[in-house]
């Protein structure tokens, strides 16, 4: 199959780098008309086109990066439903599911997720993997085999999502050592109520020191809650300050800080940026799961305040989180499903740089990918081509897309 070709397309202006911008036409929705050519899977030419008479009918996106998923539990909603749709019930059903979990079941769910993700246009995925005592011991070896199997098409990163206490055990240390050979990530949950703050800070110190020892990153579920706004991130910042070590940290969720006063959010954001802590906003699960009330509808949902955090220079990504499991019953590993819900939900303008940056560029930085996600000469021809001429076409139900991986059409 050919891995060379060329096309006239529209590309969001902030997602492409063009050497000569003379005569570049950019429409009111910030879509630039360009000619793109690729040879042997690499972009060889990117230049403005004359659109006096015609405008391209294809919009090109770089392939997407998913910063936060849980494919070890994806598609379990049928067998382990959560009809109350709240956090407590999700957790209790999740723990029930663990009892029947085997390495093979996880691999089946993972492969189903990965095949959908590839077809829908992802090039990299970070997935958390529930990590607990009495777990099927083959699981990590099997997951690393899976990582290798898909490596030519998709980059996979794993976070071992364990209770913080786990990282204070010999078993935790052993897993950290294992993960260090494969660039795995240490994960945990830092969510209120915090009854014993001294203990929490001690456990946070443990995981940070362990990450430092084995040169690992940390990705924590922080403040996915409606109570004690920002209590988790404050404990983390205090601990990082005290230890004075440099461990790459990602905070996933950071939902409840939305409930703080705007000035407090900005100040907290400055501290988060100073420590180079990255944030992932996860609006879909937050909107579905948090602040549920039986007898009334509230539109008040805590979700990471993206705009305030960006204003404080925090690198914020938007991720999907759960897919068809007790935490969130919908979704399909489709970046356009995420965009078409998250963009109106969070009042983000798709024609603005910071919006697209949080969906395409920040995620590439977060996963430390070789390609930053900007379409330019010399980048891989890793594209999604949409039959579309405007943003309204993208957020419709009948999206027609082609996915190109290293210049080749992927079916």
Residues that bind Zn ion (CB under 5 A): 321
Cβ 2 to Zn ion shortest distance, Å: 39
- Cβ atoms of residues 153 and 115 within 8 Å: no
Nearer to Zn ion, 315 or 321 (CB): 321
3-state secondary structure of 257: helix
Q: Which CB, 33 or 226, lies closer to Zn ion? A: 226
C-beta closer to Zn ion: residue 146 or 254: 254
Give least dist CB 405 to Zn ion, A: 27
Beta-ladder partners of 351: none
Which lies closer to Zn ion via its Cβ, residue 66 or residue 321? 321
- Residue 130 or 321 with smaller CB distance to Zn ion: 321
Are residues 73 and 131 in contact, defined by beta-carbon separation less than 8 angstroms? Answer: no
Q: Yes or no: say if 349 and 355 are a contact pair by the CB < 8 Å rule.
A: yes
Please identify, using beta-carbon distances, which residue of 254 and 265 lies nearer to Zn ion: 254
Preceding peptide of 193 cis, ω within 30°: yes
Helices (DSSP H) in 182-261: which residue ranges?
Answer: 197-213, 231-243
Least Å from the CB of residue 69 to Zn ion: 8
- Shortest distance, position 212 Cβ to Zn ion, whole Å: 24
Tokens linked to 192: 């209120």
Nearer to Zn ion, 130 or 382 (CB): 130
Shortest distance in whole angstroms from residue 301 CB to Zn ion: 16
From the list 342, 362, 403, 359, the residue with the least C-alpha distance to 120 is 403
Q: How far is the CB of 92 from Zn ion (least distance, A)?
A: 16
Based on CB atoms, which residue is closest to Zn ion, 97 or 321? Answer: 321
Whose Cβ is closer to Zn ion: residue 217's or residue 382's? 217
Phi-psi region of 63 (alpha: psi -120 to 50; beta: other; left: phi over 0): beta
91 vs 209, beta carbon nearer Zn ion: 91
> Strands 316-318 and 185-190: what pairing?
unpaired
CB of 196 to Zn ion, least distance (A): 24
- By beta-carbon distance, which residue lies closest to Zn ion? 321
d(CA 320, CA 284): 7
CB of 76 to Zn ion, least distance (A): 14
List of residues 6+ apart from 343 with CB closer than 8 A: 349, 350, 355, 395
**Nearest C-alpha neighbor of 222 from the set 214, 212, 232:** 232
> What is the closest distance, in whole angstroms, from the C-beta atom of residue 94 to Zn ion in the complex?
11
Q: How far is CA 367 from the centre of its chain?
A: 9
Sequential DSSP letters for 130-197: E--TT--TTHHHHHHHHHHHTTTT-EEEEEEE--GGGGGSHHHHHHHHHHHHTT-EEEEEE-S--S-H
Distance in Å, CB of 322 to Zn ion, minimum: 7
Question: Rounded to whole angstroms, how far apart are CA atoms 408 and 410?
Answer: 6
Question: Token pair of 63, please?
Answer: 């392939």
Q: How far apart are CA 146 and CA 168, in angstroms?
A: 28
């Amino acid at each position: 199959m050919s891995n060379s070709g060329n096309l006239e397309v529209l590309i969001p202006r902030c997602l492409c780098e063009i050497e000569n911008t003379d005569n570049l036409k950019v429409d009111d929705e910030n879509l630039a008309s360009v000619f793109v050519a690729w040879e042997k899977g690499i972009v060889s030419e990117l230049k403005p086109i004359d659109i006096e008479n015609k405008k391209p009918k294809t919009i090109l996106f770089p392939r997407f990066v998913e910063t936060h998923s849980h494919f070890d539990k994806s598609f379990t909603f049928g067998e382990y439903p959560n009809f109350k749709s709240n956090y407590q019930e999700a957790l209790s059903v999740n723990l029930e599911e663990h009892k029947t979990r085997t390495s093979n079941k996880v691999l089946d769910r993972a492969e189903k997720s990965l095949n959908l993700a590839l077809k829908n246009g992802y090039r990299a995925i970070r997935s958390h993997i529930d990590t607990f005592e009495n777990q099927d011991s083959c699981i990590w070896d099997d997951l690393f085999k899976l990582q290798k199997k898909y490596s030519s098409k998709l980059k996979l990163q794993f976070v071992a999502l364990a209770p913080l206490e786990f990282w204070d055990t010999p078993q935790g240390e052993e897993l950290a050592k294992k993960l260090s050979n494969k660039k795995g990530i240490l994960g945990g949950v830092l969510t209120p109520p915090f009854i014993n703050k001294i203990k929490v800070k001690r456990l946070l110190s443990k995981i940070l020191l362990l990450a430092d020892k084995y040169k690992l990153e940390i990705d924590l579920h922080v403040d996915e809650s409606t109570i004690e706004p920002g209590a988790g991130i404050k404990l983390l910042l205090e601990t990082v300050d005290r230890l004075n070590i440099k461990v790459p940290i990602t905070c996933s969720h950071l939902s409840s800080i939305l409930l703080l006063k705007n000035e407090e959010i900005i100040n907290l954001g400055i501290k988060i940026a100073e420590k180079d802590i990255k944030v992932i906003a996860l609006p879909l699960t937050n909107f579905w799961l948090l602040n549920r009330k039986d007898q009334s509808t509230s539109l008040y949902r805590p979700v990471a305040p993206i705009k305030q955090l960006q204003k404080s220079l925090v690198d914020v990504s938007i991720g999907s989180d759960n897919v068809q499991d007790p935490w969130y019953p919908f979704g399909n590993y489709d970046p356009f499903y995420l965009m078409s819900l998250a963009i109106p939900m969070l009042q983000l303008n798709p024609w603005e740089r910071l919006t697209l940056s949080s969906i395409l560029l920040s995620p590439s930085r977060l996963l430390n990918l070789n390609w930053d996600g900007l379409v330019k000469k010399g980048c891989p021809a890793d594209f999604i081509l949409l039959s579309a001429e405007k943003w309204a076409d993208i957020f419709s139900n009948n999206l027609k897309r082609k996915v190109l991986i290293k210049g080749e059409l992927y079916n």
